[in-house]
Amino acid sequence: MMIGMYFRYRKKNNINLRTYYNYNKMTSQQQFYLIDTTNEQSKELIDTIIMKERIVNKNSKMQITTIPLRIPDPETGIEKLVYLKTAELRMPFGVSEHEGVRPKFSMLGSFSDIGTSEAQNNTLEFLRKFDERILELACKNKAWVGREESDPEAVIKAFHQPIVRKSKHKNDDGTDKYPPQVNIKLPTYQDGNFRCKVFEGKTKKLPPPPESISNNSRASCVLNLSTVYLVSGKFGVSMEAEQIKTTLVEKKANDVCLLSDSEDEN
């Protein structure tokens, strides 16, 4: 049925979808399916995302529970990891390090151009719809998210941690003081090296974070959203960066030494 819906949709929007699905056709043998959220048509795929039975890591002291998310490839029906391409966002604080037994890293992506950027608007709308889909699936599989069958949907929604964060600070007129943000995790291997790769342009590879991502830099990301975490009754989707394409910020005059060699000698 889903494949039939895909072909009807492709026939209706043939020109746009030829470009939209081009990347996925070339990588049909890969284990992930990349959704370009900058394209308004990407929202059509949200309803096809499915939630698998939860997995409990009994070897962990906390018995960490995760719930896999998958998307059936529209052409083959093969269930794949959910990867998203985002619009270019502003990273106001660069990379943050969180202390622990094993340091963790993340960065906040700000939708600072939602009034002028169609791509940002599309990505933001996609993520909000994605959150709605997660809640829908959680309500259908209450036990998987640690709730009882008798729990009302309002309880489940109260324990859901949304992907998109609204500003906690308000202006005098009641509007949000700051634009919406998303928290992007920067995963590392056991040896501490970053798993995600950072590029400037298509081919120029940059040093790993945090060196390559400074305050107020701009970046678009390929994110892995294939896992729902369940911690202390709360649940939400982990957003892990697989690739980052950044635009380097021009250095301010006070960030550069203005003394010449001759002045240094004097």
Question: For residue 266, is it within any domain?
Answer: no
Question: For residue 259, is it within any domain?
Answer: no
Give the whole-angstrom CA distance, residue 91 versus residue 181.
9
Non-local (6+) Cβ contacts of 64 within 8 A are 56, 57, 229, 231
Q: Which CATH number characterizes residue 117's domain? A: 2.40.50.140
Predicted structure pTM score: 0.80
Question: For residue 169, is it within any domain?
Answer: yes
Non-local (6+) Cβ contacts of 45 within 8 A are 35, 71, 74
Half-sphere exposure for 132 (CA within 13 Å, toward CB): 10
Structural domain count of the chain = 1
Question: For residue 59, is it within any domain?
Answer: yes
Q: Which domain holds residue 140?
A: 2-249
What is the full per-residue pLDDT of the chain (266 aa) written as tens digits?
A: 444 444 444 444 443 444 344 444 444 446 999 999 999 999 999 999 999 998 877 666 556 789 999 999 999 999 999 999 999 999 999 999 888 777 899 999 999 999 899 999 999 999 999 999 999 999 999 988 888 888 899 999 999 999 999 988 888 888 888 899 999 999 999 888 999 999 998 889 999 888 899 999 999 999 999 999 988 889 999 999 999 999 866 655 455 555 555 545 44
